[in-house]
Structure 1
Amino acid sequence: MDYVAARKVMVDSQVRVNDVTDRTLQAALMAVPRERFCAPGQAFAAYGEVEVEIAADRRLMQVREVAKLIQALDVREGETALAVAGPYAAAVLAAMKASVTAQEAEAGVFEVVGSALADAGVATVTAPLSQPTGGDWDIIVSEGAVAARPTAWLAALRVGGRLAVVERTGPNGRAVLYVKGREGVSRRELFDAAPPVLAEMTPAPVFAL
């Protein structure tokens, strides 16, 4: 399979037509080998409009959705970025010249994507997704959905920092952009999306009598 040609078709047919106009982002999507982020035997599906398996229950977000999330973040060269359960997004951000760390809860994910992330210059951390590593991030992004406002992720942003994520409590979800200010956090809805919800980011059920 000609992956370079497939990347061009992907950008032309899935990204540009969905109002992703940032040329730096388009170039990054053209440069990052998405097939290296798929489970063994799944590379053939890397450029389709599907959520491709990475490992266990983890899947890549559709490129249309991850591109729109990243565009909303208004990435600037040299910014620090944390990709929580977002290895492909991490590599794209690195191609946009951000300083990126990828965090995963399961080492099995890094067994699949680790070499691609290393080649992209992305640092890796294995830790619970509910506990973001470090702090004062300019950017946090995730390819998985969350079932509730990710307060721990917001706390890890610096003032002026941005978080892009999908919030989903049922069959449908909404991508949202949070911006942290000195007096609080603003929230703006972006578009409909329904990636799988990250189990660690689902609140425990509360029973009432």
Structure 2
Amino acid sequence: MDFTVARRRMVEQQIAARGITDPRVLSAMLTVPRHLFVGTGLQSHAYSDASLPIGEKQTISQPYMVAVMTAALELKGEERILEVGTGSGYQTAVLSRLVKRVYSVERIPILASRARKVLDQLQMSNINIKVSDGTVGWQDQAPFAGILVAAGSPDVPKNYLQQLDVGGKLVLPVGDQQHQVLTRIIRQEDGTFKREQLMDCRFVPLIGEQGWLSDAVT
């Protein structure tokens, strides 16, 4: 399989054709080798229009969803970003092409280790990964110009709002464990938060102190 051709088709047909116009996002997704972030048995499906299992009851998000969430941050290039849910590391890799530094939190050690291995293989050196409860963020490195959460939360964790810089954007799915709405929250200069609903979606649950207590469907 020619992964370069498959990746170009993915960007053209699944992402650009659906309205994602940010040239930096399109370029990042054109260059990051998505097939390296899934198991060898799934590599032929890596550029399909679907999420894929990565083990530990987790998934690598659909390419279009990765693009939507990344574009919603409106990145310029000098930002420090918090990602919650490293997972396979693919979204992390896309972000690393677009910002100064990515701080990524993953609660499952084996996933964090696998992601780190692939990211190191790709020589992506502007990424810090920590194994921790992602719902509490990364206080030591706050504030962040953007926070991207790749798991569905029953509400917006307060720590994310506190760790968001003025003008910063928080993008996360909010809802129950069956259905969420992708939401963008922007911190205003007066300390208030502007909230926007972007689209319906479905993610694995955000597990932790300020999220769901378990992944049992409620």
Q: 2:165 aligns with which of 158, 161, 165?
A: 158
Report the residue type matching 2:17 in the other structure.
Answer: V
Report the residue type matching 1:81 in the other structure.
Answer: I
Answer whether contact 1:160 1:179 (CA < 8 A) is retained.
yes
Q: Deviations over 1:111-143 (max 9, x none)?
A: 322123232222211111122113101111022
Deviation at 1:170, TM superposition (A): 5.0
Answer whether contact 2:177 2:204 (CA < 8 A) is retained.
no
Q: 2:132 aligns with which of 127, 136, 141?
A: 127
Report the residue type matching 1:120 in the other structure.
Answer: M
Task: Give the equivalent residue in structure 2 for 1:187.
Answer: 195
Deviation at 1:98, TM superposition (A): 3.2
Deviation at 1:43, TM superposition (A): 2.2
> How much is the aligned-residue C-alpha RMSD, in angstroms?
1.8
Deviation at 1:147, TM superposition (A): 1.9
Task: Give the equivalent residue in structure 2 for 1:173.
Answer: 180
Structure 1: which 5+ runs fail to align? none
Identity over aligned pairs, percent:
22
Distance, in Å, in 2 between the alignment partners of 1:39 and 1:154 is: 35
Distance, in Å, in 2 between the alignment partners of 1:194 and 1:76 is: 28
Task: Give the equivalent residue in structure 2 for 1:6.
Answer: 6
Answer whether contact 2:37 2:115 (CA < 8 A) is retained.
yes
Residue aligned with 2:41, SS = coil
Task: Give the equivalent residue in structure 2 for 1:53.
Answer: 53
Distance, in Å, in 1 between the alignment partners of 2:183 and 2:10 is: 24
Distance, in Å, in 2 between the alignment partners of 1:32 and 1:160 is: 28
Answer whether contact 2:157 2:211 (CA < 8 A) is retained.
no
Task: Give the equivalent residue in structure 1 for 2:110.
Answer: 108
Distance, in Å, in 1 between the alignment partners of 2:142 and 2:177 is: 30
Q: 1:202 aligns with which of 196, 206, 211?
A: 211
Answer whether contact 2:152 2:176 (CA < 8 A) is retained.
no
Q: 1:93 aligns with which of 85, 95, 119?
A: 95
Deviation at 1:81, TM superposition (A): 0.6
Residue aligned with 1:191, SS = strand
In 2 relative to 1, CA 37–186 (structure 1 residues): closer, same or farther, beyond 3 Å? same
Q: How many residues align?
A: 205
Q: Deviations over 1:16-50 (max 9, x none)?
A: 12110011110000011111222453222211122
Task: Give the equivalent residue in structure 2 for 1:67.
Answer: 67
Report the residue type matching 2:182 in the other structure.
Answer: A
Q: Deviations over 1:64-105 (max 9, x none)?
A: 111111111110111001111043222111112431122111
Answer whether contact 1:54 1:112 (CA < 8 A) is retained.
no
Residue aligned with 2:159, SS = helix
Deviation at 1:204, TM superposition (A): 5.1
Distance, in Å, in 2 between the alignment partners of 1:62 and 1:197 is: 16
Distance, in Å, in 2 between the alignment partners of 1:73 and 1:14 is: 19
